[in-house]
Structure 1
Amino acid sequence: MIFDEFSIKTLVRPVPDFPKPGVVFRDITPLLQSPKALRMVADSLIQRYVESDFSHVGALDARGFIIGSIIAYELNRPLILFRKKGKLPADVLAASYSTEYGEAFLEVHADSLCEGDSVLLLDDLIATGGTLVAAAQLVRRMGAQIHEAAAIIDLPELGGSRKLQDMGIPTFTLTAFELNER
């Protein structure tokens, strides 16, 4: 790997009690503000997927758009946006999901994928897995397959990566944090 796990962790800011008491938010803003770190994260993912056989990159609203667009561009793959409810202008498919904060909806343009397509799903982190599970459900509703779900960070104690694996979706992250890790 080009970028080691320790370096990533030093650039992720823990924000206690955000957005509600008891939650430690993992803020990737410092990582994004470092051109070298962003390049190293992107290069690590590009190296992993450069020879992989998938047709599309699916990026999840909102921080997944950042890394997803870089990976789609560098690997010359179409970019599919999975957005929060009400943000897409054309016909959409929707899926509800639970987060650690409540319930929400994820939408994708209904014509984004076709049967036989294969999608690499990208987000900034895997917590409860809600958004990635919803995206996977939408991908499958369009007749496509999930190549892998990838993120910069995994929060394994929240069970999202296990939930995805139980659905038969391989997962990959560059690092993981325990809930109380600073």
Structure 2
Amino acid sequence: MQLETERLLLRRPQAGDLDAYAELFADPEVVRYTGGVTKSRAESELALERMIRHWDDQGVGLFSVIRMEDERVLGRVGFLVWDAESWRHAMMRPPRGRTETEIGWTLARAHWGRGYATEGATAARDWAVHELGLRRQISLIQRGNDASVRVARKLGETLECEDLPGPFPAATDLYALTIEAPAR
């Protein structure tokens, strides 16, 4: 499974992506709004294994974002399935009730501000709508992460719930996009 944009290739994560993810998750600025805790190489390997398994278990997941000009892994963009009651995602435990599907993005700091997150997330959003029929997508964004709010708004998402209750390390807002089914 892969998607292409003008500059990017989005594909399922692979074990060979570990070096890029270990670097990504070791940067305190990158993880600032995704839990705030850096990961060791071993922890990054576990996270990568969970990303791979999420695809197998849920039928969707996070893509590795590859810059086509040099085949460098820039980060990840794609989907996490969340249990909408406990607000725990399926990489940690299988959902037990109603679910929500989050579209999210995490890029290495060297690649911020170049439009890669918007470009990759737009391709992922469109693929999920047209190929999977996923007409509702959310983004859980920690307060203060203005760059991610801008990406969410470019995707067409609007603020739906402030300070979502759940096991989040800081105040987290829910942005959502619901695409109406085409008229018949």
**TM-score with structure 2 setting the length:** 0.30
